[in-house]
């Protein structure tokens, strides 16, 4: 049975699951679906054509399912579908799809921190972390376990690959390949693999070595783009590095480039033992 605060406004045609808790001054519009075990904290708005899965917690002042911010409006517009076990903090805004048959899709177990915004027709995977005041334009795709630092902005139609880490204040206008780190502060350049994220998510030293080999093909050998794709397709058919080819072959906006390295710089040899020492020292610092 749902627990609804007396000041909340819930349309009779909204569908409420078991053990739903709706806080003070919330608004749930006609036809909205709130799954079992969801909590809506004070002043949430869940608009029509929104479906929430199970056990989501929606923070104060969040607005879910607003119309697409587009010069040409569709009536009634698309949908917003949110999976299970997501945490949306205060004042998060997520817009529904633009066209009547379109949808913005949010997966499971994601964290959207204060004031973050997801534009219309975005696709967000699972276990992603979107930090305070991140802005995602329309049609952005974020793959599983990506991390976007505070106040990063992602241009419409861009893609962020699996386990990529985007620094705070980054301005992303091209696709970001899987497993890489992008520095923030307005520079927005790739600075290597997300080794800490890889380790925390159970990737083995052998996996990291394979990813480094593929990374060098993409960014370090000065190959033509078709040569890069051919090598990735031929030499990296299994393991995590196989994701590079499937991701890169679909690119339409270009890809974020690596930060240029001085000609005098010496690249480290591939040695997992040295990597473990470096990571331990960095974590201790």
Mean of the pLDDT values across residues 247-270?
74
Residue 186 is predicted with a pLDDT of 79
**CA-CA-CA-CA torsion sign (248, 249, 254, 259):** positive
Extract the tokens encoding 204.
Answer: 């083995």
Q: Which of 23, 78, 107, 138 is catalytic?
A: 138
How many Å is the Cα radius of gyration of the chain? Answer: 21
The answer on pLDDT for 270 being more than 70 is no
107 is catalytic: no
Domains in the chain, please, with CATH? 3-142 (2.160.10.10), 203-279 (1.20.1180)
Catalytic residue among 120, 125, 144, 275: 120
In a 13 Å sphere around the CA of 165, the CA atoms on its Cβ side amount to: 12
pLDDT digits (tens, 9 = 90+) for 113-139: 999 999 999 999 999 999 999 999 999
pLDDT at 188: 94
Q: What pLDDT does 269 receive? A: 42
Instruction: Quote the pLDDT of residue 260.
Output: 74
User: Measured between alpha carbons, how far is 220 from 266 in angstroms, rounded to an integer?
Assistant: 12
153-208 pLDDT tens trace:
999 999 999 999 999 999 999 999 999 999 999 789 999 999 999 999 999 999 99
Token couple for 228? 């890069």
pLDDT of residue 176: 98
**Residue among 163, 147, 188, 182 nearest 243 (CA):** 163
| Residues, the chain | 285
Active site residue 138: yes
Mean pLDDT along residues 44-49: 98
**Span 35-61, average pLDDT:** 98
So what's the pLDDT on residue 276? 52
Say whether 108 sits in a helix, a strand or coil: coil
Among all chains, which residue has been given the structure tokens 């010496």? 266
As a whole number, mean pLDDT of residues 225-237 equals 98
Q: Is the pLDDT of residue 67 over 90?
A: yes
Query: What pTM was computed for the model?
Result: 0.90
Mean pLDDT of 217-227: 96
- How far apart are alpha carbons 23 and 141 in whole angstroms? 31
Residue 23 contacts by C-beta under 8 Å, 6 or more apart in sequence? Answer: 5, 8, 39, 40, 41, 42, 43, 44, 60
pLDDT digits (tens, 9 = 90+) for 77-121: 999 999 999 999 999 999 999 999 999 999 999 999 999 999 999
Tell me which of 177-181, 232-236, 266-270 is least confident. 266-270
Q: pLDDT by residue (tens digit) across 206-215?
A: 999 999 999 9
**Crossing angle of helices 205-219/272-284, nearest 10°?**
100
Q: What is the pLDDT of residue 1?
A: 83
Q: Distance between CA 64 and CA 251 in Å, rounded?
A: 30
Q: Which of 59, 77, 117, 121 is catalytic?
A: 121
Active site residue 121: yes
* Selection from 168, 166, 163, 167 nearest residue 200 by Cα: 163
Using the predicted structure, report yes or no on whether residue 267 has a pLDDT greater than 50.
no
Q: Where do the H-state alpha helices sit in the chain? A: 195-200, 205-219, 225-235, 242-248, 272-284
Tens digit of each residue's pLDDT (9 = 90 or more) over 13-40: 999 999 999 999 999 999 999 999 999 9
């Amino acid at each position: 049975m749902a627990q609804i605060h007396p000041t909340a406004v819930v349309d009779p045609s909204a569908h409420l699951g078991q053990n739903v808790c709706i806080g003070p001054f919330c608004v749930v519009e006609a036809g909205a679906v709130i799954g079992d075990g969801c909590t809506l904290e004070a002043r949430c708005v869940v608009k029509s054509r929104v479906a929430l899965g199970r056990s989501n917690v929606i923070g104060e002042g969040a607005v879910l399912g607003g119309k697409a911010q587009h010069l040409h409006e569709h009536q009634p517009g698309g949908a917003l579908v949110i999976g299970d076990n997501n945490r949306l903090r205060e004042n998060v805004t997520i817009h529904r799809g633009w066209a009547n048959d379109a949808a913005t899709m949010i997966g499971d177990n994601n964290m959207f921190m204060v004031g973050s915004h997801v534009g219309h027709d975005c696709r967000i995977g699972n276990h992603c972390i979107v930090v305070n005041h991140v802005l995602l334009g329309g049609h952005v795709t974020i793959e599983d376990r990506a991390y976007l630092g505070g106040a990063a902005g992602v241009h419409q139609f861009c893609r962020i690959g699996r386990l990529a880490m985007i620094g705070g204040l980054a301005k992303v206008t091209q696709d970001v390949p899987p497993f890489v780190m992008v520095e923030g502060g307005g520079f927005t350049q790739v600075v290597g693999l997300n080794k800490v994220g890889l380790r925390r998510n159970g990737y083995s030293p052998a996996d990291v070595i394979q990813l480094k080999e593929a990374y060098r093909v993409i960014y370090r050998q000065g190959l033509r783009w078709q040569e890069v794709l051919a090598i990735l397709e031929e030499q990296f058919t299994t393991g995590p590095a196989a994701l590079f080819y499937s991701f890169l072959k679909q690119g339409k906006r270009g890809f974020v480039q690596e930060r240029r390295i001085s000609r005098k710089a010496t690249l480290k040899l591939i040695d997992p033992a040295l990597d473990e020492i470096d990571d331990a020292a960095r974590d201790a610092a």
